[in-house]
Amino acid sequence: MFSTSFTGNDLLFLLRGAWVTLELTVASMLIGTLAGVLLGWLRASLPRATLPLGWFLDVFRSVPLLIQFVLFNALKSIAGLNWSAFSIGCLVLGVYAAAFCTEIIRSGILAVPPSLRRASRSLGLSYWQDLRYVVLPLAARVAFPGWLNLALGVMKDTALVMWIGIIELLRASQTIVTRIQEPLLVLCIAGAIYYLMSWVVARLGARLEKRWQEND
């Protein structure tokens, strides 16, 4: 007969960790998206002038995220900043998301046909009106699938914040495993929670994308 030491309180502890995971994901994607839209527009509009910016962002795309967490956490201590581990986690994940989101937005903007932009300008739209009413709406539809995949990836990457002391879903599951010594059960439950969160985000994204297509 199957018996386990896993209790309802353990499940609540995992769910609290899952909530921290969601908070980290939302905060970092908000930072990454806002920065990515601005930097992506700059990279698409001024490719040569912003070439050093592209090299700088390549660093964050290339260096493993775990190393970035450790370095940022060490710099916080060296600089004497009284920032919480959660703030460091949001900052690192936000910069990491911004590095990828910049290229996603840049590609979306460059995917808008130049002839369409010339037509909008010939109709009397200013540069900013063309950007707001023509370019960004079309670029958003092109970039959205990549942005959604980035959000799902960042959600899984939040597991690395355990190395700077944040108790998110994976850290919570490891704490329970240490106590009850049932890794298979606990990690299966944690994996199911990750899957459920990712499934909800993916379904909401697919519904939004379908609505965009229906409005074409």
Q: With 60 as the cut, is the pLDDT of residue 203 above it?
A: yes
Q: Which CATH superfamily is domain 8-214 in?
A: MetI-like (1.10.3720.10)
What would the mean pLDDT of 146-174 be, rounded to a whole number? 91
pLDDT confidence bin for 164, thresholds 50/70/90? confident
Q: Give residue limits of the domains in the chain.
A: 8-214
Q: Which two tokens stand for residue 109?
A: 């903007």
Average pLDDT value over all residues in the chain: 90
183 three-state secondary structure: helix
| Residue 1 clears pLDDT 60, i.e. is over it | no
> What pLDDT does 64 receive?
92
Checking if the pLDDT of 90 tops 80, the result is: yes
Residue 103 pLDDT > 60, yes or no?
yes
In percent, the amount of the chain with pLDDT more than 70 equals: 98
What pLDDT digit, counting tens, does each position of 31-49 carry? 999 999 999 999 999 888 8
Q: Is the pLDDT of residue 57 over 70?
A: yes
In this prediction, residue 118 carries a pLDDT of 82
Instruction: Select from 66, 64, 40, 65 the least CA-distant residue to 53.
Output: 40
CA end-to-end distance (rounded Å), the chain: 57
CB environment 128-138: b (16+ within 10 A), e (fewer): eebbeebbbeb
Mean pLDDT across 115-129: 83
pLDDT of residue 208: 86
B/e letters for 73-92, b = 16+ CB within 10 Å, e = fewer, are beebeeeeeeeebbebbbbb
pLDDT, position 153: 94
Q: Which two tokens stand for residue 20?
A: 């921290």
Does the pLDDT at position 116 exceed 90? no
Across the range 63-68, mean pLDDT stands at 91
